[in-house]
Structure 1
Amino acid sequence: MQAHWLYLGVAIVAEVIATSALKATEGFSRLGPSVLVVVGYCTAFYFLSLTLRTLPLGVAYALWSGVGIALVTAFGWLYYRQALDAPTLCGLALIAAGIVLIQLRGGH
């Protein structure tokens, strides 16, 4: 496995953790979740920057944000019991299709 894919995976996971913790900060009034958000985003951007040594910016950002959106949506559905309606599911399917197209193109 090439290192840029590992870096991108770490960046995505860190961003998903940070974004998912945002709701729990209650406007950054709770210390624990607030620290998790700051550390998560710092980690995400650091590893995204390592990814950009190899992958083009547009490809890396499309994968980072697209996978992140899908995972944060899944977390909200599972943890916060947020409803997923038909337009949301269609949008997620389009994001997934875009990620597949990027990968079929070779990721570059």
Structure 2
Amino acid sequence: MIGEEDRRDHRRMQVNARARMTWRSSGESVSVQLEDLSATGCAFVVQRETDPGVDVSVAVPSPDGRLPGLERQGRVVRCDAVDAAEGGGWRVAVAFDPEG
């Protein structure tokens, strides 16, 4: 059986970085803990639940001033509770909007 990771068109990189998620409808912004990133989406942990289908933007600052940071718009595709033993919060998956 092919696992979900094997079916992806773009490989996800495991990361451990701070980022910002902004709800596009309200402009409210929160800090998140980025866990993985690919060309088509990302996943992070945030302390507030959000509904699938919600439009968001995700900004990842550059670790090096010589490179620009990443900012992409997308929509929440999944939001699952994180076990308290893992620190709690919500694990959110975002699919980025196509560029162009």
Normalised-by-shorter TM-score class: under 0.3
- Structure with more of its chain in helix, by fraction: 1
Higher relative contact order (CA 8 A, sep 6+): 1
Q: TM-score, normalised by structure 2?
A: 0.22
Q: TM-score, normalised by structure 1?
A: 0.21
- Structure with more of its chain in strand, by fraction: 2
Larger Rg: 1
